[in-house]
Amino acid sequence: MKQIESQSPYQTRAHRSTLKLFFWVAVWVASFAIATFGPRLLWDKAAPITWIACAVTILIGIVAIVANRNQIRAQDEMLQRVSLEAYSISLGAVIIVGCPYSILQQNKLVPAELGIPALMVVMSVTLLISMLVGLRRYR
């Protein structure tokens, strides 16, 4: 706790917003796992409970998005720029990979099960690499 007390107000605000973002993303991941595996493992595919679980996951996701926005706002201008560039590259990669992938899926040239999970992997890896490259470039 002493480390936080010796930080500047900017560092304290950035640290706090990062912890909040981590918390809400972890809660979203847990809710997503429950919504994914719950129908088979917990409530025997009861449709109303699955709808509720998905709605809760969406609501928690909205809170995580707000926490992400707040975390970016708490950053200095350089980190905001790195984040903006990384998110734009990630979005572009998902569109560039996702559109042809849907064509391949429609023509049964790739497995249909890989759709959204594959795009999430592309987005996550692209975002991570873009953030690391951006941070290195502006160092």
* Domain with 124 in it: 76-139
Residue 114 is classified by DSSP as G
* Domain-ending residue, one of 53, 75, 97: 75
> Is 1 a residue whose pLDDT tops 70?
no
Which of 31, 59, 75 is the C-terminal boundary of a domain? Answer: 75
- Tell whether the model's pLDDT for residue 11 goes beyond 90: no
pLDDT, residue 112, reads 75
**pLDDT value, residue 5:** 60
User: Which are the contacts of 126, defined by CB distance < 8 A and separation ≥ 6?
Assistant: 89, 90, 93, 94
Residues 117 and 67 in one domain: no
Q: Are residues 99 and 66 in the same domain?
A: no
For tokens 């959204």, name the residue.
Answer: 116
Identify whether residues 42 and 88 lie together within a single domain.
Answer: no
Residue 118's CB: how many other CB atoms inside 10 A? 16
pLDDT band, very low/low/confident/very high, at 98 (cuts 50, 70, 90): confident
pLDDT higher than 90, residue 119: no
pTM of the full predicted structure?
Answer: 0.75
For residues 115 and 96, state if they share a domain.
yes
Burial (Cβ within 10 Å: 0-12, 13-18, ≥19) of residue 35: buried
Residues 97 and 121 in one domain: yes
